[in-house]
Amino acid sequence: MKRFAEVCRAASLFLPLSTSPTPPQLSRSWSYCRINPIIPDMAEFEYHPYYLQGIEYFNECDFYEAHEVWEALWTDYQGPSRKFFQGLIQVAVGLHHFGNGNIHGAKKLFATSRKYLEPYRPDHMGCNLEKLLAEMDRCFAEVNAADEQFPEIEIDPELIPEIHLDPPPPVDWKKDHVPFERYHEK
């Protein structure tokens, strides 16, 4: 069986990480998402770099790494978006399980991720949750319809969701960010 990331690469869904110079470490107290209160009509978002890095990993089909980065963010965050981050973590882990053949785990995390994300609909922190949840429904349709305890279902790379923020982050968001260390690089 091919590794899940190889399937994503074969479907042209894997995008290489770009490299950036090593900038100074950001404080863990840095804003997770601030809205500029001076211009109420034109809210300017400043996304936390770990949120963005998790999205980058997610869109590369590196769901384990997305979960690791978002979990680091979620662990220290105590604000109103805490359950949103938890929902994203569960989306990533559900897709990781699905890609590795753990259909039971994928089905369970699909359901719980929705419970965490539903209150934030239609969008939150630039993430179009209507679109993400609809794409998850399509991706997990066969999983959710399965009655067997251990069905053999393979993920369709064409149905794997992606996350694109609106407003998009600045193109140079990485310049002042020390990337979260990948799990397999430890």
Across the chain, what does the average pLDDT equal? 79
- Count other Cβ atoms within 10 Å, centred on residue 158: 9
CB atoms closer than 10 angstroms to residue 167: 11
Angle between helices 49-59 and 82-99 (to 10 degrees): 20
* Window from 33-47, 83-97, 161-175 with minimum mean pLDDT: 33-47
The string of pLDDT tens digits covering residues 104-120 is 999 999 999 999 999 99
For residue 70, CA distances in Å to 2, 54, 147, 159 come to 26, 6, 32, 22
Angle at CA of residue 34, ends 30 and 40, nearest 5°: 160
Window from 29-33, 73-77, 110-114 with minimum mean pLDDT: 29-33
Domains and CATH numbers, the chain: 1-12+48-165 (1.10.3450.10)
Query: How does pLDDT run across 124-144, given as a tens digit for each residue?
Result: 999 999 999 999 999 999 999
